[in-house]
């Protein structure tokens, strides 16, 4: 599986989940109507999201599943290279020469970079240079 395929599937899961985002009273009212719920039947999730209280466990399970799927996929060198190549381009490595934002985007902290990650990062950087030529 390619990095964008997994990422797109995770985005679709989130888009299809019965929730909404509200940052003012008008958006809250619209979202409650969309869910067919009252204020007492919903609760907040991170980043301004709102779900039914009865859906909290399903939401948490989905997020944990996404995290585990990505963690497992990143164990494959080809997937890791694909992910790094995408995120290097997405974070304009060709301009900044800073790989840290790309690493962080796939959940790898600077302190967690080992020989394998460094090897895959170098391959991804070379792939990006080939695209620019």
Q: Are residues 58 and 10 in the same domain?
A: yes
pTM summary value: 0.87
Q: Are residues 16 and 59 in the same domain?
A: yes
Q: Are residues 57 and 79 in the same domain?
A: no
CA distance 71 to 115: 17
For 88, the domain range is 74-132
How do the pLDDT tens digits run along the chain, 133 residues long?
899 999 999 999 999 999 999 999 999 999 999 999 999 999 999 999 999 999 999 999 999 999 999 999 999 999 999 999 999 999 999 999 999 999 999 999 989 999 999 999 999 999 887 655 4
pLDDT of res. 131:
55
């Amino acid at each position: 599986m390619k990095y964008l395929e997994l990422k797109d599937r995770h985005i679709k899961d989130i888009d299809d989940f019965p929730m909404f985002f509200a940052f003012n009273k008008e958006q809250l009212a619209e979202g409650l109507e969309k869910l067919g719920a009252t204020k007492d039947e919903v609760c907040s999730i991170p980043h301004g999201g709102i779900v039914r209280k009865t859906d909290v466990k399903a939401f948490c399970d989905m997020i944990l599943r996404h995290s585990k799927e990505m963690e497992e996929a990143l164990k494959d060198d080809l997937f890791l290279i694909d992910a790094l190549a995408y995120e290097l381009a997405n974070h304009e490595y060709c301009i900044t020469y800073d790989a840290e934002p790309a690493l962080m985007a796939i959940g790898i902290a600077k302190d967690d970079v080992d020989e394998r990650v460094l090897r895959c990062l170098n391959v991804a950087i070379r792939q990006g240079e080939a695209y620019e030529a």
